[in-house]
Amino acid sequence: MSTYFSRAARSPLPIHLRNPRRAYDVDGFEITPMTFQQAMDKGVRAVRVICDCGHVEETPIYVGAWPSTSLVPDAGMTLRCSACSKPDPQTEPAWPRRCSD
């Protein structure tokens, strides 16, 4: 038996109940975040760490630092800002930059 629920069977989350670490579409449904394995498969080798103090830094994805099934936005729960030491910064994939010819 499948545990998959179609989108029609679910209702959108009200704004006050939404997780700040998740993205939502215009209808209020959660967009599934990327896992570390999916990010690495797409060529991502680092996580961009963004703090409220304005500090932005890239942290390499080391094998074993986070399980491959962990969600990229949740990595911030284990990090602190290296500038101000504030816990829980935002995290996103640091997409590789294309070199111009």
Q: What is the pLDDT of residue 80?
A: 93
Asked if residues 19 and 76 have their Cβ atoms less than 8 Å apart, the reply is: no
Q: How far is CA 52 from the centre of its chain?
A: 16
Asked if residues 47 and 76 have their Cβ atoms less than 8 Å apart, the reply is: no
Euclidean distance between CA atoms 26 and 41, whole angstroms: 28
Q: Per-residue pLDDT averaged across 2-15, rounded?
A: 66
Is the whole-model pTM more than 0.85?
A: no
Q: What is the pLDDT of residue 14?
A: 84
Give yes or no for residue 1 having a pLDDT over 50. no
* Structure-model confidence comparison of residues 86 and 19, the more confident one: 86
pLDDT tens digits, one per residue of 25-56: 888 888 899 999 999 999 999 999 999 999 99
- How many residues appear in the chain? 101
Q: How far is CA 101 from CA 42, 52, 94, in A?
A: 22, 36, 21
